[in-house]
C-alpha cells in the first residue's frame, strides 16, 4: 500500500508540473501578443483623469491651453464694395473693448486709445480710412465733448461704438438723440453699466442692423456688477452719393 500511495503521489507531481508547462506555453505567447498590440495601437484602457478627478485636483500644467486666434481681429471676408468690421464691448472695468476695421485693430488697449465710457471709431464711408478714434467717460466725465464730436461727423461717415464699464450716467437726451440719428435703436434705453455695441452711419436715415445691447442685471450678470462681453462682426456697404 505504501508503494501505491507513493506512486500516486508521484503521478500527481508529474501531472501538476505538466499542466504548469502547458499553461506557460499557452499564456506567455498570449501575453506577448497583447503587449505588442497595445504598443502598436496605444492603450485603449488608458483613463482620462480629467473626467474622473475634480477640476481643483488637476495641476495647471496638465490642462491643455485653449487655441489662440491669429490676431486681435476676427478674419472675415466681405464683398469688394463692403468694409469688414468686428467689435467687442469691454468686460466689467478690467478688459477694454476693441474695434477692428478691414481686419486691422484700430481701437483697443493694445493701442492705448480705449477708455471707460463710450469708445468711438469714425471711418470714411467711401474709402474705409479711419478718420478719428476717441473715448468719453460717461461716469465721471463730461458729455459735452461727446456731443461736439457727434455734431461734427460728416455725412457718409461710418461710426462704430463700444461700451466699457459705464456708458450712460452722463449721457443726456441730446447725446442720445444724436446717436439715435446715426441708426441706434437701443441708445435711448441704455442704462448704468449696460453693455452695448453699435455700428451706424451719418446720413443713412435708417435703423442699423449692427447693434447689440445687454442689460445690467445682477441676477444674470457674468461679472458680478457687469454683464458679459458682447461681440459683433459683419460687412458694411460702402457709402454711395
| Residues 43 and 94 occupy one common structural domain | no
Residue range 185-229, pLDDT digits in tens: 999 999 999 999 999 999 877 889 999 998 888 777 777 778 888
Q: Which of 12, 35, 67 is the last residue of a domain?
A: 67
Residue carrying C-alpha cell 468711438: 120
Looking at the structure, tell me whether residues 25 and 112 fall in a common domain.
Answer: no
pLDDT at residue 6 tops 90: no
State the total domains in the chain. 2
User: Is residue 101 within 8 Å of residue 121, measured between CB atoms?
Assistant: yes
**Comparing C-alpha atoms, which of 162, 102, 98, 99 is closest to residue 129?**
102
Residue 239 has pLDDT above 80, yes or no: yes
Q: Which domain holds residue 220?
A: 82-237
Q: How confident is the model at residue 27 (pLDDT cuts 50, 70, 90)?
A: low
Split at pLDDT 50, 70, 90, the class of 20 is low
Which residues are bridge partners to 195 per DSSP? 214
Both 57 and 103 in a single domain? no
* 55 and 93 inside one domain: no
36, 67, 98 - which closes a domain: 67
Model pLDDT, residue 216? 83
pLDDT: which is higher, 42 or 182: 182
For residue 206, tell me if it sits in a domain: yes
Gap between the Cα atoms of 88 and 91, Å rounded: 9
Q: Any idea which residue has 491643455 for its cell?
A: 64
pLDDT, greater one: 67 or 152 = 152
- 76 in any annotated domain: no
- Burial of 185: CB neighbours in 10 Å, binned 0-12, 13-18, 19+: middle
Q: Which three cell numbers stand for residue 190?
A: 441704455
Q: Which helix (H) or strand (E) holds 4?
A: helix 2-41
In a domain, 77, yes or no: no
- Over 90: is that where the pLDDT of 8 sits? no
Shared-domain flag, residues 19 and 103: no
Residue 173: phi and psi, rounded to 5, are: -65, -35
Q: Is the pLDDT of residue 138 over 70?
A: yes
Q: Do 124 and 203 share a structural domain? A: yes
Same domain, 215 and 97: yes
DSSP state of 62: G
Residues 62 and 92 in one domain: no
Non-local CB neighbours of 85 within 8 Å, separated by 6+ positions:
99, 100, 101, 102, 160, 199, 210, 233, 234, 235, 236
Amino acid at each position: 500500500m505504501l508503494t501505491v500511495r507513493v506512486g500516486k503521489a508521484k503521478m500527481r507531481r508529474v501531472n501538476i508540473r505538466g499542466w504548469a508547462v502547458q499553461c506557460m506555453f499557452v499564456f506567455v505567447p498570449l501575453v506577448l501578443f497583447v503587449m505588442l498590440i497595445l504598443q502598436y495601437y496605444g492603450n485603449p484602457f488608458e483613463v482620462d483623469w480629467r473626467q474622473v478627478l475634480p477640476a481643483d485636483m488637476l495641476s495647471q500644467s496638465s490642462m491643455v491651453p485653449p487655441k489662440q486666434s491669429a490676431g486681435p481681429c476676427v478674419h472675415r471676408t466681405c464683398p469688394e464694395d463692403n468694409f469688414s468690421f468686428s467689435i467687442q464691448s469691454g468686460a466689467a472695468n478690467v478688459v477694454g473693448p476693441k474695434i477692428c476695421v478691414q481686419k486691422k485693430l484700430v481701437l483697443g488697449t493694445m493701442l492705448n486709445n480705449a477708455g471707460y465710457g463710450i469708445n468711438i471709431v469714425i471711418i470714411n464711408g467711401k474709402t474705409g480710412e479711419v478718420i478719428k478714434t476717441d473715448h468719453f467717460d460717461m461716469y465721471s466725465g463730461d458729455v459735452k465733448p461727446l456731443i461736439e464730436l457727434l455734431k461734427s461727423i460728416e455725412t457718409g461717415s461710418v461710426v462704430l461704438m463700444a461700451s466699457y464699464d459705464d456708458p450712460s450716467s452722463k449721457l443726456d437726451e441730446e447725446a442720445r438723440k444724436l446717436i439715435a440719428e446715426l441708426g441706434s435703436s437701443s441708445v435711448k434705453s441704455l442704462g448704468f453699466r449696460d453693455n452695448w455695441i453699435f455700428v451706424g452711419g451719418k446720413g443713412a436715415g435708417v435703423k442699423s442692423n449692427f447693434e447689440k445691447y445687454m442689460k445690467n442685471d445682477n441676477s444674470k450678470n457674468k461679472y458680478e456688477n457687469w454683464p458679459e462681453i458682447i461681440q459683433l462682426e459683419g460687412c458694411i456697404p460702402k457709402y454711395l452719393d
